[in-house]
Structure 1
């Protein structure tokens, strides 16, 4: 599918980037498009994914050497088994990756945030009721037009190697349940439904007291 729902929301996610942010973690980075955007803003980006195949494509796309500067630092790892540095990252992103792991993984991500840091989750939810279905119906024609437009543009480009597709998993948690879990684990977070079967969760960690 040429139209990528996650890429569509990159700008929205970047609006929540803290002003003085220097370090970022991209969880489930896939082929690294969002991680590269963060690195392009001058951030020190740690990008993690459990698929070695998609990481190989991410590294190739970045044109990085083994330790190339100015590019994300890619790591082949399962973030649920990774010991993340405490209070370190100014920005943590999860693009369509949280539903591949237990939801309480957000606890470790919360602890890895520096004071004043922001966690953004572009998540997928299971459609379970009339509200979900109505949003799906609203997204369908927009999705079809976007596919056609992007597909036509891609058709003008020279033929090349087909991109590697990241692993796919169907979400199991409906949006109301996600809201309940998030309220308990990420107090003060904000969630809103988006088109293209996505939701946006934003959590800002309390800043350190002045003089601390």
Structure 2
């Protein structure tokens, strides 16, 4: 599918970067699109992904500067993160690949005032959730059509490796309950295109 739902929300994720942020961790960086956008904002980014093929693409593209990007083939659940270190931690469509309580380690890795931003996937729980995501169907079809047309006019898109896609098993109700317990004060916003945004700011 040529229209990437996750990339569409990069501007929203950039909008939650704390003022003066210097260090970021991206969990599940894929081919590094968001990491490069963060580096362009001047952040030094540690970008983790367990899939070597997508990291090879990311490394080949490098960093646009002025910030740096250090790519690492790693599963965040199996590494030790520095305590109170990062001003921003992002998880873009990656948290459902691991136990949700992984957010505890991410929380502890946030510097004071740092922000954890999760663009996640979950099953709807309320009538409002379902209405939001049912309304995304015509928008999705229109976006796919426009992007496909643009690619044909430009000679087609270059194929790139894609990260493993895994089905999610938690509902938004599960996410809300777990977030209230593990990330007190966090906020969850339901978005079009079957996504939610969870944000948490460290004290």
TM-score (norm 2): 0.94
Deviations 1:127-180 (CA, angstroms, capped at 9, x unpaired): 456444322220000011111111111223345641111100111000011000
Gaps of 5+ in 2: none
Residue 100 (1) aligns with residue 100 (2): no
- Cα distance per residue 1:79-109 (max 9 Å; x no partner): 0001000000000000010000000000000
Match of 2:100, SS?
coil
- Counterpart selection for 2:180 from 183, 197, 212: 183
Match of 1:52 in 2: 52
Moved more, 149-158 or 99-108: 149-158
User: What pairs up with 1:1-212 in 2 under 5 angstroms?
Assistant: 1-62=1-62, 70-127=67-124, 130-159=127-156, 161-206=158-203
Q: What SS does the corresponding residue of 2:107 show, helix, strand or coil?
A: helix
Q: 2: distance between equivalents of 1:112 and 1:142?
A: 37
Q: Structure 1: give runs of 5+ residues left out of the alignment.
A: 207-212
| Compared CA separation, residues 80 and 151, structure 1 to 2 (3 A) | same
Distance 1:69 1:104, change over 3 A: same
Say what the alpha-carbon RMSD is for the aligned residues. 1.8
1:75, distance to aligned residue in structure 2 (A): 0.3
Quickly say closer, same or farther: Cα 1:129–1:85, change in 2 above 3 A. Answer: same
Decide whether aligned partners of structure 1 residues 154 and 183 sit closer, same or farther in structure 2, where only a CA change above 3 A counts: same
